[in-house]
Amino acid sequence: MTSPLVPSRAPDLAARDGLSALERTKRQPLMLGLFLPIQNGGWTPSKASRGTDWTFDYNARLVVRAEEIGFDLVFGLAQWLGADGHGGEIKYRKNSIDPLLMTSGVAALTHNIILISTVHVLYGWHPLHLAKFGATLDHMTGGRWGLNVVTGFRPNEIDMFGLDAIPHGARYRMAAEFTEMMDRLWRDDANVTWEGEYWSLRGAYASPKPVHGRPILVNAGSSRAGLEYAAKYSDLIFITSPGGAEINTALESLPAHTKQVRDLAAAEGRDVRTVINPHVICRDTEREVKQVCKSILDGEDPLAVDGLVGTMRGGDQTSWWGHERQQRIIGGNVQVFGTPEQVVDQFIKLKAAGCDGMQINFFDFAPDLEYFADRVLPLMKQAGLRTD
């Protein structure tokens, strides 16, 4: 991936088929996303050698390439960490770029891929701010922008903003009011006055209006309150494996979890899509896969791992509690390892377990993405998981 940073050469599918980006994505048997490494170390707190980089240029090239090979969406996390990140020799995730600004930066480089921004909406935002910024990004992308609504749960982040902790249930009540205010601002072609419990609007107006009524909304809630919020408001729900990252235990636990999500959405009269985050390590042989895993584990940065696990367990969020330490070193919500044929077989099983999409991360992103394009994507098409 050494070519100049230029707009994607992918065809403009919206001009060809008249569908929105979300409608087109939902038609795929298995949606395909890339979980961008916009923080140093990506998802792997290891000192093992790789080229993965947190910088805008590196990630923009990944986005352009992902669109060219047919990925449906890209996404990056948002985080607030101190000067040492999660610590360790590598100062894991000390450096990170903002996903909202990252999205705006790649908007003009792409034509079809959905660009999702993560925003902690309770960290000082007002609904009018994000309604305006979101409508602008939606307009810039021709309806391809998505908002991943995050309430925040980590005490260190809350302290950084000088805020008081908000009880879990109250966070989602606040998120619901925030979302409803944005939706009203996006849809109403008149000034809006609204005295809410947490925010107020007085003669407020947001323009331009989103291309398709409102932008794409995403959430990754895992608690009952979080899932109820997501089922009511979100188009895509990022889910986690209750059984941990090992593929077989994940496959055992996911059907009940995905059914719960669908049942909650059905109760709201809505149809949502679930997307899970696999870490894919794929090579020609099982021996090569094991060698990659061994090099990652041998290069463990213990203090960085401790720091990551500590912040994940420091609040009241529970979605990653089933993951073992060794699984966190390699990364991913569920780990899909093997030859191209074995990876596709595991994707088939994850789909059967109720996962509508894969939001993939890699260890060494650029070369691994190329290998995935060359060796895995054709097999996914043969298996009926992807259309041309």
Helix-helix angle 340-352:247-267, to 10 degrees:
40
What are 30-83's pLDDT values in tens digits? Answer: 999 999 999 999 999 999 999 999 999 999 999 999 999 999 999 999 999 999
* 13-382 carries CATH number 3.20.20.30: yes
Residue 309, number of CB atoms within 10 A of its CB = 18
Strand partners, 361: 279
Note the pLDDT of residue 154: 85
Residue 9, number of CB atoms within 10 A of its CB = 9
- What pTM was computed for the model? 0.94
Note the pLDDT of residue 5: 65
> In the chain, which ranges are continuous DSSP H helix?
13-17, 21-26, 56-68, 99-107, 127-140, 155-160, 168-187, 224-233, 247-267, 286-298, 302-313, 325-330, 340-352, 365-371, 377-382
Note the pLDDT of residue 312: 57
What's the one-letter identity of residue 87? G
Note the pLDDT of residue 2: 47
Distance between CA atoms of residues 222 and 238, nearest Å: 9
Note the pLDDT of residue 326: 80
Note the pLDDT of residue 6: 66
- 3-class state of residue 280 by DSSP: strand
Distance between CA atoms of residues 164 and 316, nearest Å: 14
* Through-space distance between the first and last CA atoms of the chain, rounded to whole angstroms: 23
- 3-class state of residue 382 by DSSP: helix
Using an 8 Å Cβ cutoff, are 42 and 290 in contact? Answer: no
Strands 192-195 and 200-204: antiparallel
Q: Which residues of the chain are under the pLDDT cut of 50?
A: 1-4, 314-316
Q: Name the residue ranges covered by the structural domains of the chain.
A: 13-382
Q: Identify the DSSP state of 190.
A: S
Task: Tell me the two tokens of residue 60.
Answer: 């923009």
Note the pLDDT of residue 221: 86
Note the pLDDT of residue 320: 52
Strand partners, 150: 120
Using an 8 Å Cβ cutoff, are 213 and 186 in contact? Answer: yes
Note the pLDDT of residue 10: 80
Using an 8 Å Cβ cutoff, are 363 and 52 in contact? Answer: yes
> Omega of the bond prior to 208 within 30 degrees of 0, cis?
yes
Note the pLDDT of residue 63: 98
The helix (run of H) or strand (run of E) holding residue 201 is strand 200-204
186 CB contacts (<8 Å, ≥6 apart)? 131, 134, 135, 206, 209, 210, 213, 214, 215
Q: Identify the DSSP state of 109.
A: T
